[in-house]
Amino acid sequence: MNRKEPIIRVMKRDQIENWKGWTIRTIAIVLALLVEALFVFSILKIPPSRVYFLMWEGSFGNAIYISDTVFFTAKLLCIAVALAPAFMMRFWNIGGEGQVLAGALATAIVMVYCSGLPAPLLYTIMFVAAVAGGAVWGLIPAVFKAKWNANETLFTLMMNYVAIQIVNYFYNKWRGNASALGKLNKGTKAGYLPEVFGSDNILILFIVGILVILVYLYLNHTRHGYEISVVGESKNTAKYAGMDVKKVVIRTMFLSGAICGVCGFMTVAGQDHSISSSTAGGYGFTAIIVAWLAKFNTIFMVIIALFIVFLDKGTKHIADSYSGFDDSATKIVIGIMLFFVIGSEFFINYKLHFLSLQKKEEE
């Protein structure tokens, strides 16, 4: 019985040149923008040029929009940078939300109960507390993974909900009988990060920029970074090479949580000046996409984080401008972009062989 050859065969690529990979990604982004414009047109009947104008206006239209775009890009980037070492090690840290909340809560506690301290000392304690809070929240699942091989995906995910409930406890305690907590230390502004050149974001950008560079160097030019990559490729190989895999796992997750804690510090002290269960804003999950798309390269994460925030802010501005375009529609627009960009990775890693072409090659 003759077996029919499949019309299309999917084959794994051995290697692809960088320029080809980025060409495929660029084509995917262009196609996604066209589909998004058609989607918005089907709802609002506005031309694509108007869609793109509104998206640009919502992200960079005035000083307030620019300030928000800069801050949320820095926030998303900071969490993505934090997740990069863990993901490179193939430790699936889904707990970025909880680790940010742990750092944010530690910052808020110091702001509330140590507000009378001199500003330099107060900032120092806030920062150290935030780093420690995030680090501990990352360390707990790492220890369980290293000692008892607990499932890190479920463990870090559950730690998010624990952090949310702890934050809710303090939120309700501090707000008392009020309907909402509001700003912490509203009268004294103790613990608020100082403005630099008239902007709240300069200091935040400086901190995140330093983290981007340091983590890039750490992952690519240090012994610890090499150990992380080897453990990610094969734990057995790492053990054979004499590496202490348990130590690498614990150390790396401590670092990952600590950087998430820095994000919590920046959010509470530099932007929100308050605390709630939504302080992380879902960016702990969005940062997973940023880290993965950048292939754990923190430099590339800058562009990807900015692009995702641009989509988010831009589509929300469309929703604010037109009543027929709600929050659900904005999420669809972002989903379309992610679908195309993530889908492009298939064509980067695999190639299609058509039966007719194969026959011609054989002839």
Beta bridge partners of 351: 11
The pTM of the whole model exceeds 0.85: yes
- In this predicted structure, the answer to whether residue 140 has a pLDDT above a threshold of 60 is yes
Residue 44 has pLDDT above 80, yes or no: yes
On whether residue 96 sits in a domain, the answer given is yes
Residue 56 placed within a domain: no
The residue with tokens 């680090």 is 135
Residues 235 and 356 in one domain: no
- Given pLDDT bands bounded at 50, 70 and 90, which one contains residue 5? low
Are 313 and 253 within one domain? yes
Which of these ranges, 90-94, 263-267, 269-273, 319-323, has the smallest mean pLDDT?
319-323
306 and 363 in one domain?
A: no
Supply the DSSP string of 121-144, one letter for each residue.
HHHHHHHHHHHHHHHHHHHHHHHH
Q: Are residues 234 and 359 in the same domain?
A: no
105 and 150 fall within a common domain: yes
Same-domain pairing of 249 and 122 = yes
CATH number of domain containing 163: 1.10.3470
Same-domain pairing of 156 and 12: no
* 324 Cβ contact list (under 8 Å, min separation 6): 43, 44
- Structural domain includes residue 295: yes
* Whether residue 77 has pLDDT greater than 60: yes
Would the pLDDT of 363 be above 70?
no
**Is residue 128's pLDDT more than 90?**
yes
| 51 occurs within a structural domain | no
Assigned token pair, 351: 């190639």
Number of domains into which the chain is organized: 2
For residue 335, the enclosing domain spans 1-46+325-363
* pLDDT 10s digits, 320-357: 888 888 878 888 888 898 899 888 888 888 877 776 65
DSSP codes, 293-313 = HTTT-HHHHHHHHHHHHHHHH
Spell out the residues 6+ positions from residue 9 whose beta carbon is closer than 8 angstroms to its own. 352, 353, 354, 355, 358
* The predicted structure's pLDDT at residue 3: 59
And the tokens for 34? 């066209």
Are 143 and 248 contained in the same domain? yes
d(CA 306, CA 290): 10
